[in-house]
Amino acid sequence: MYKIVFKDTIQRYENYKEMNMQYAKAFIAILISGLLLSGCDQSPKQSAKDKSNPHQVNSELLTIESSTVKRRFNGLIIAPNTIKISNQIDGNIISMPYRVGSVVNKGDVLVQLDSRLTKAEHLKALASLEKATQDLQRIKQLIPRQLASAEELSAATTEQKLAQANLTLKTIQLDRSTIKAPFSGVISERLFEPGDTVAVNTKLLTLVDKSSLIIKSAIPESFISYIFINKTVEIQIPSLALSLDGKISSIYPTVDSRTQQIPLEVSFTADNSQLSPGQFAQLIITHKTAEKILIPVNSVQYDTQGTWVYTIDSQQQAQQTWITTAQNLNNKIEVISGLKAGDHIITNGFIGLRPGKKVISETLLNSQPK
């Protein structure tokens, strides 16, 4: 009896399960049909809405244009007229009146070496020349009377020349004991003090001519076509908040193989009292690019497939247009393929925009024939 009841229970459960599955399948079918009908009803409405309500955008009519570009290059102030003062004879330093920072004039005595011995040798050489000259004159007077031979005359002439040469040598040595400024400038380095004994060709001082300062910089070799001699450039000295004009005075004929840059020099006229060699400076060189298509940076879109922009076609619909770009120039990007003069590109209003959508733009309306 229990077996019959259990078997009857199982059969009822299976019937109930099958009935529920049929109800579920029917419900899903009804739901899908409703969604499809709803989609069919809304699609034409949405399409009509797109056409009746164009998407508001900002656009730009492309033209071929050139751009003024400013490039900034670092440089240093240098003094090309800088010399190291050294002694050409050995000796003891008697006087060095100027210290670092002192302003000197051309001809001022910078270093005085002990010249007492040199002066004595100079006086001796002068006396020797006087004696040799007198001997030569006496022999010349004896020659007509045949009281002196030709050999004696030749020897006296040679002695007189040797004495003259020795006097010249001692005069040079005496002059070299006094070192004078070859030009007006500022003492930038002092290495010895009075009382020091120095050998020949020892560096004693450094003299800088601050009246002829220049700026030395370097530019990439690709930039060479934009510069030329006497081109005006802007100079900025950040430490002094100073801005002034200069001109390119020299362009080196070779490229630095390590940096692939070309050195150049810029001259300027300004009050140099605040400027010093070694000071940091910047050059701002302005030039115009060749004519090309330039578009605003904010109009460019990027995805995994590449670079593109929204353009507006003849039906006033937004279209996705793939482009190839080059360098950035003052918040614009150069386009080398994909666009042409006369194209309309969308520059703003991207939210909710998609290819094929009707758009409206004041720029586009103004460009159409009336």
- Residue 30 maps to a domain: no
Task: State how many domains the chain has.
Answer: 3
Q: pTM score, two decimals? A: 0.59
Instruction: Tell me if 70 sits within 8 A of 151, measured CB to CB.
Output: no
Q: How far apart are CA 81 and CA 221, in angstroms?
A: 28
Tens of pLDDT, residues 268-307: 988 777 899 999 999 999 887 767 888 999 999 999 999 9
Beta strand pairing call for 55-56 and 359-360: parallel
What number is the average pLDDT over the span 187-208? Answer: 96
Q: Count the helix, strand and coil residues of the chain and give each as a percent rounded to the nearest 5.
A: 35, 35, 30
Q: How far apart are CA 222 and CA 260, in angstroms?
A: 9
Q: What are residue 59's DSSP bridge partners? A: 346
**Residue position matching structure tokens 């002695």:** 159
Residue ranges making up the domain that contains 249: 72-80+211-288
- Residue 264 maps to a domain: yes
Residue 117 and residue 135 in one domain: yes
Q: Of the residues 232, 255, 288, which one is the last residue of a structural domain?
A: 288
Query: By C-alpha distance, which of 326, 312, 319, 321 is closest to 360?
Result: 312
Residue 146 and residue 217 in one domain: no
Q: Of the residues 288, 322, 356, which one is the last residue of a structural domain?
A: 288
- Which range of 77-86, 145-154, 268-277 scores highest in mean pLDDT? It is 77-86
- Residue 200 maps to a domain: no
Does the pLDDT at position 314 exceed 50?
A: yes
237: pLDDT confidence band, cut at 50, 70 and 90? very high
Does the pLDDT at position 11 exceed 90?
A: no
Sheet with strand 64-65: strands edge to edge: 64-65, 292-296, 332-337, 324-329
- Residue 206 maps to a domain: no
* pLDDT for position 36: 46
* pLDDT for position 170: 95
CATH number at residue 279: 2.40.30.170
CATH number at residue 325: 2.40.420.20
- CA-based Rg of the chain, rounded to a whole angstrom? 47
- Residue 141 maps to a domain: yes
Q: Of the residues 288, 323, 347, which one is the last residue of a structural domain?
A: 288
- Residue 49 maps to a domain: no
CATH number at residue 159: 1.10.287.470
Does the pLDDT at position 310 exceed 50?
A: yes
* pLDDT for position 219: 95
Give buried/exposed letters for 177-199 (b at 16+ CB in 10 A, else e): bebebeeebbbbebebeeeeebe
Q: How far apart are CA 341 and CA 30, in angstroms?
A: 55
Mean pLDDT across the chain = 85
41: pLDDT confidence band, cut at 50, 70 and 90? very low
Q: How far apart are CA 187 and CA 284, in angstroms?
A: 32
Residue 218 and residue 148 in one domain: no
